[in-house]
Amino acid sequence: MNVLILLRGLPGAGKTELAKVLSEDGRYKIISVDDYFTNPLTQDYNFVFSENHIAYKQAIRNTELAIQAGDSKIFVHHTFTLEWELESYFELAKKFNYKIFVVTVENYHNGKNSHNVSEEQIKKMAEKYKVKLY
């Protein structure tokens, strides 16, 4: 079975670390919107809000490329606080017959976000966050 696993949660919840653990330290593909803003050589992160839409498209495209390459298990980690952020991944899973799972990562460990997102912004994100339980 081929699976696409979306890890969602607020900044600092531990999505990146969980992706690493579940992917068996990179055995399976890990994709993130943050990849666009991360220098592959230095790992420095430089978020540019005006380019966020490009980062979203790149993550979706990288996911599609991984699917087309036949990767059996793909992890995408991002906040996914809004429903529309999930839709393209649902469409890809359906198109390529991948089983999709959406996993919400909660911050019970009191993790701190590594991207300097303000507490005020995280609270705004939390207000928009919806969980589909059934």
Classify residue 111: in a domain, yes or no. Answer: yes
Q: How many domains does the chain have?
A: 1
Q: What is the pLDDT of residue 134?
A: 84
- Entry field: residues in the chain: 134
Residue 61 lies in a domain: yes
CB 20: neighbour CB atoms within 10 A?
Answer: 15
20-30 residue pLDDT tens:
999 998 899 99
> Per-residue pLDDT tens for 75-129?
999 999 998 999 999 999 999 999 999 999 998 888 888 788 888 999 999 999 8
CATH number (domain holding residue 98)? 3.40.50.300
| Residue 134 is assigned to a structural domain of this protein | no
Q: Does residue 75 form part of some domain?
A: yes
Domain that holds residue 122: 3-128
State the chain's mean pLDDT as an integer.
Answer: 93
Q: pLDDT tens digits, residue range 32-51?
A: 999 999 999 999 999 898 99
Is residue 96 within 8 A of residue 67, CB to CB? The reply is yes
Give, to the nearest 10 degrees, the angle between helix 84-95 and helix 52-68: 20
Residues β-bridged to residue 45 = 38
Which element (helix H / strand E) includes 19?
helix 15-22
Residue 50 belongs to a domain: yes
